Amino acid sequence: MQDKEADRLAFMGQLAAGLAHEIRTPLSTLQANLQMLQEDFEGTADERERRALSRVKLLLKETARLEEILNDFLRFAAGHKLDLRPTDLNRLLEEILEFLGPEAARRKVRVLTSLGELPRVAVDGNLLKQALLNLVMNALQAMPGGGELMVRTQEWRGYAQVDVTDTGEGMTPEVMARCFDVYYSTKKSGTGLGLPTARRIIHEHDGTLGLTSEPGKGSCFTIRLPLPKPAERGGETIPL
């Protein structure tokens, strides 16, 4: 019975992904034509053409949002075959924070880190980076008026633990109960797929993703990924 359900879900995932790919082609054509229209109207002095240019820019913005939704959906729907490799989790986080540094500065968010000593973890670096990127970006977006972002790592009872803590708006119990639901978002421009995708990737690594939050004080997402047993670590590498 479970095998049939798994097959059904896999089929539905393939069907949905195929549909998303079919939508992408006309969407790309629409974007290309809108960009050409924008170029035609740029610099015009005619009032009517300026109004048309404003509408074209609005349509381009909306098609970009549709493309973002499609990309997020495809990442969520895809069945991931993990490419597990010994990975320096702290280094992975440093790369993400360096990449998002300009965005944090723009939002007036101070980024703090406390990266503890960890053995290398067997993970799919590209997929885990996407999950961590989603969580850090979510934290930045939770602080529209600025604040502090703390990223902490430590070894905890056989797990590598990552805490992503913000001093933002926090969540009510009702929002916390739904924040991992597909397509649920409290942001006007949110796709509602960032947190579900992050949780799915972490679960595929046999890890857990927890959340604590309080309205007006902020939120903390806690990731735990299983570490190899001490006898298996062999110094700096993990035998796979």
Q: What is the dihedral of CA 212, 148, 151, 173, to 10 degrees?
A: 10
Superfamily name and number for 85-233: Histidine kinase-like ATPase, C-terminal domain (3.30.565.10)
Check residue 240 and give its pLDDT: 31
Q: Residue ranges of the domains in the chain? A: 2-77, 85-233
Look at residue 68 in the predicted model and tell me its pLDDT.
73
pLDDT digits (tens, 9 = 90+) for 117-162: 999 999 999 889 989 999 999 999 999 999 999 999 999 999 999 9
Mean pLDDT, rounded, of the chain: 84
- Report the alpha-carbon distance of residue 177 to residue 203 in Å, rounded: 18
What confidence score (pLDDT) does residue 10 get?
A: 59
Q: Which of 11-15, 119-123, 193-197, 219-223 has the lowest mean pLDDT?
A: 11-15
- Dihedral, CA of residue 31, residue 37, residue 43 and residue 45, to nearest 10: -140
CB 185 within 8 A of CB 141: no
**Higher pLDDT pick, 11 / 116:** 116
With CA atoms as reference, report the closest residue to 163 among 226, 114, 105, 92.
Answer: 114
Place of tokens 């649920």: 184
The answer to whether 238 and 120 have CB atoms below 8 angstroms apart is: yes
Domain boundaries 2-77, corresponding CATH code: 1.10.287
Which residues is 3 bridged to in the sheet? none
**Model confidence at 3, in pLDDT bands (50, 70, 90)?**
low
pLDDT per position as a tens digit, 152-191: 999 999 999 999 999 999 999 999 999 888 777 877 666 6
What local confidence, expressed as pLDDT, does residue 239 receive?
34
CA angle 162, 172, 211 (to 5 degrees): 15
Question: Residue 37: pLDDT above 60?
Answer: yes
What mean pLDDT comes out for the span 19-27? 75
Residue 69, Cβ neighbours under 10 Å: how many?
Answer: 17
What is the length of the chain? 240
Question: What are 58-100's pLDDT values in tens digits?
Answer: 888 888 877 777 776 666 666 667 889 999 999 999 999 999 9
Q: Tell me if 2-77 shares its fold with 85-233.
A: no
| 3-state SS, residue 96 | helix
CA 105-111-116 angle, to 5 degrees, is 155
Helix 2-41 and helix 47-77, axial crossing angle in degrees, nearest 10:
160
